[in-house]
Chains A and B, each alone.
Chain A
């Protein structure tokens, strides 16, 4: 009986259509924000911030990006990694050419390049669907990866073939990127961007544009007969999704990796993000955070906990076990709960609503 809507009356459509109509949900969100902004920075050391929290948030953003396309608009993509790469390389080139512009601006602009590339590869989605579209995005994945290797201009002709993040300052004289950047600074920048983006995507999906995506996803023919233009709906989904993935890709390199070779954006990354979407829940924003947290943290947790209970395995073996578990869990979730962790969360809330009674 701790979680209930009884007694919370809506007197206007505006309050009924708020992002979180229930008081308990609003409190929950506030608590998570307080956790993220106050508690995590206070209790975490640099390792936790730099190796867990920052990549988790960035990958969650990429997951949201893919979720826009796959979860909301129903278009499967296996090219997420490459679209992230476009953002990263674009940002690298931009900051090389305009070193004095704030790096945050570059990151936001680099998403536009990813969006443009995403739209080009999204064009075939007007004629082809489902599995066939997967091939289009695979074409994007391998072609773009090839570009990252074969076009030396993209990595400033570095002998290593990798992009290395230069030191950039902003907001006064704060070091934002590069080896000298403080993890806490990076964490706050990443957190701010992720919060703003999540809110913006939430707004999109609860409004006209998101509804058109879902119409196309659920029944494309009916959507068209209701006046949705497939061209606009699908390409806007590709554009928004790739923009977010591009921004996430740029952040992935500039705030987490520090340097990246082309294979950082390989199909492995594409799959990893796809798994985060599936496990978190197709078409769920908070699920994207669950999915990213789960897949990113599982190997880390296994690596720290298995030795603690007396099982000592090599790092590689642990990684293989993590893969095995994730694969099994994906199948398990698809069977038991196709809507992923987000749905489990909802079920838990429904149970709480009537607790301590079994039925409400």
Chain B
């Protein structure tokens, strides 16, 4: 009985009696969700254009963040470091295309996935070799990103605290999604991208260069990774622990579908808000810390009922 109350009554009573705290939890979940969505967005970009599930997206976030901070630590001015980091991500995209994607074209999905897992461990090794294993502080102020916070009064004695960097993160994420949306739908490269995603052979036959397209999407994913790295780094720090968190983009993608940009956003928000609320209101029942697996369980339950994701179409299997 006590357990049932704990599950079905107490959390909701808490939500209603402390609405400002509930809003705060929602906001935290929202911001976390935006960051998951950003990582998922990187996955979607590459998956859409090449059918490759890029397991390394999470480590690309860390790698981009580390490069930025590492360059700054060695005396490069912040904005120059930012530009140089973009250059590094571009170089990475070209190298990945040349040495991973191109030789593996037309291989089975599982082989490509494992290749990106190999890329992940390679980048971890490389990143730690160059920058060392310790966490680093993100150069938030040097980049001109807002710090500090705003408190909003709610009702008579409620208080909602919004970190400025979180607001910036949300704004940047939305802008990025908008730009990508336009890029995909309105530009020539965007159309070529979609053509490649539909059918490699057919795209080749109308004169689209696969190699060029792949390099471009990996570069785009690299820039998304850099933005994610900056935002995430500003909230905590830049470290390889992020890699584990980045795995949560997987359940996000399950919810949103592997090819849908809006799906990545919605999925990210569901996971972000869902796991925060779960942790705060139901976590204590189970001893806390359920955030580490709740996202996967949500995705798993969801999968059992809708294997094709929120926005995916039902696949008719053919033989």
A interface residues (Cβ-Cβ under 8 A, vs B): 74, 76, 124, 127-128, 130-132, 134-136, 138-139, 142-143, 145-146, 149-150, 221-222, 225, 267, 271, 274-275, 278, 316-317, 320-331, 334-335, 338
Instruction: Identify A327's interface contact among B123, B292, B319, CB under 8 A.
Output: B123
Are A150 and B286 touching (Cβ within 8 A)?
Answer: yes
Near A by CB (< 8 A), chain B positions 235-281 give 244, 247, 250-251, 254, 258
A136 CA to B303 CA, complexed, in Å:
9
Given contacts A124-B304, A135-B303, contact A322 B119 (CB under 8 A): no
Residue ID in chain B nearest A325 by CB atoms: B125
Are B109 and A134 touching (Cβ within 8 A)?
Answer: no
Interface pairs A-B: 10 shortest CB-CB = A327-B122, A330-B118, A324-B125, A323-B125, A139-B296, A142-B293, A327-B121, A143-B293, A320-B129, A335-B103
Are B244 and A221 touching (Cβ within 8 A)?
Answer: no
Which chain A positions have C-beta within 8 A of B121?
Answer: 271, 275, 323, 326-327, 330
Residue ID in chain B nearest A217 by CB atoms: B110
Near A by CB (< 8 A), chain B positions 100-135 give 100, 103-104, 107, 109-111, 113-115, 117-126, 128-129, 133
A134 CA to B113 CA, complexed, in Å:
11
Given contacts A139-B300, A143-B293, contact A331 B122 (CB under 8 A): yes
Which chain A positions have C-beta within 8 A of B299?
Answer: 135, 139
Instruction: Identify B125's interface contact among A146, A275, A322, CB under 8 A.
Output: A322
Q: Is B75 an interface residue (CB 8 A)?
A: no
Which chain B positions have C-beta within 8 A of A267?
Answer: 244, 247
Which chain A positions have C-beta within 8 A of B110?
Answer: 74, 76, 130
Are A149 and B289 touching (Cβ within 8 A)?
Answer: yes
Are B289 and A317 touching (Cβ within 8 A)?
Answer: no
Near A by CB (< 8 A), chain B positions 48-102 give 53, 99-100
Are B129 and A324 touching (Cβ within 8 A)?
Answer: yes
A135 CA to B40 CA, complexed, in Å:
14
Q: Is B4 an interface residue (CB 8 A)?
A: no
A222 CA to B286 CA, complexed, in Å:
44
Are B113 and A76 touching (Cβ within 8 A)?
Answer: yes
A151: shortest Cβ distance to chain B, in Å?
8
Are A330 and B289 touching (Cβ within 8 A)?
Answer: no
Are A323 and B128 touching (Cβ within 8 A)?
Answer: yes
A124 CA to B121 CA, complexed, in Å:
28
A111 CA to B254 CA, complexed, in Å:
31
Q: Is B317 an interface residue (CB 8 A)?
A: yes
Given contacts A124-B304, A132-B254, A135-B251, contact A143 B115 (CB under 8 A): no
Q: Is B13 an interface residue (CB 8 A)?
A: no
Which chain B positions have C-beta within 8 A of A135?
Answer: 250-251, 254, 296, 299-300, 303
Which chain B positions have C-beta within 8 A of A130?
Answer: 109-110
Given contacts A131-B53, A138-B247, A150-B289, contact A321 B118 (CB under 8 A): no
A69: shortest Cβ distance to chain B, in Å?
12
Chain B contact residue count (CB 8 A cutoff) = 47
Given A139-B293, A278-B114, A316-B128, 17 more A-B residue pairs with CB atoms under 8 Å apart are A124-B304, A142-B296, A143-B296, A143-B297, A145-B293, A150-B288, A221-B319, A278-B118, A320-B133, A321-B129, A323-B122, A327-B119, A331-B118, A334-B115, A335-B104, A338-B107, A338-B111
Are A334 and B296 touching (Cβ within 8 A)?
Answer: no
Are A131 and B113 touching (Cβ within 8 A)?
Answer: yes
Residue ID in chain A nearest B104 by CB atoms: A335
A344: shortest Cβ distance to chain B, in Å?
17
Which chain B positions have C-beta within 8 A of A142?
Answer: 292-293, 296
Are A323 and B124 touching (Cβ within 8 A)?
Answer: yes
Which chain A positions have C-beta within 8 A of B103?
Answer: 335
Residue ID in chain B nearest A137 by CB atoms: B296
Are A330 and B300 touching (Cβ within 8 A)?
Answer: no
Which chain B positions have C-beta within 8 A of A74?
Answer: 110
Are B300 and A331 touching (Cβ within 8 A)?
Answer: no
Q: Is B19 an interface residue (CB 8 A)?
A: no
Which chain B positions have C-beta within 8 A of A321?
Answer: 125, 129
Which chain A positions have C-beta within 8 A of B254?
Answer: 132, 135
A255: shortest Cβ distance to chain B, in Å?
27
Q: Is B307 an interface residue (CB 8 A)?
A: yes
Are B300 and A136 touching (Cβ within 8 A)?
Answer: yes
A321 CA to B117 CA, complexed, in Å:
17
A220: shortest Cβ distance to chain B, in Å?
10
Given contacts A320-B129, A323-B124, contact A127 B303 (CB under 8 A): yes
A207: shortest Cβ distance to chain B, in Å?
25
Q: Is B290 an interface residue (CB 8 A)?
A: yes
Which chain B positions have C-beta within 8 A of A322?
Answer: 125
Are B304 and A127 touching (Cβ within 8 A)?
Answer: yes
Given contacts A322-B125, A323-B125, contact A131 B296 (CB under 8 A): no
A76 CA to B116 CA, complexed, in Å:
14
Q: Is B155 an interface residue (CB 8 A)?
A: no
A263: shortest Cβ distance to chain B, in Å?
11
A-B contact pairs, 25 of them (CB 8 A): A74-B110, A76-B113, A135-B303, A139-B300, A146-B290, A146-B292, A221-B317, A222-B319, A267-B247, A278-B118, A317-B129, A321-B125, A323-B122, A323-B124, A323-B125, A324-B125, A327-B120, A327-B125, A328-B118, A328-B122, A330-B118, A331-B119, A334-B107, A334-B114, A335-B115
Which chain A positions have C-beta within 8 A of B207?
Answer: none
Which chain A positions have C-beta within 8 A of B122?
Answer: 323-324, 326-328, 330-331
A325 CA to B122 CA, complexed, in Å:
7
Which chain A positions have C-beta within 8 A of B128?
Answer: 316, 320, 323
A329 CA to B292 CA, complexed, in Å:
31
A181: shortest Cβ distance to chain B, in Å?
33
A278 CA to B55 CA, complexed, in Å:
16
A216: shortest Cβ distance to chain B, in Å?
14
Q: Is B287 an interface residue (CB 8 A)?
A: yes
Residue ID in chain A nearest B121 by CB atoms: A327
Residue ID in chain A nearest B103 by CB atoms: A335
Residue ID in chain A nearest B258 by CB atoms: A131
A278 CA to B110 CA, complexed, in Å:
11
Which chain B positions have C-beta within 8 A of A275?
Answer: 117-118, 121
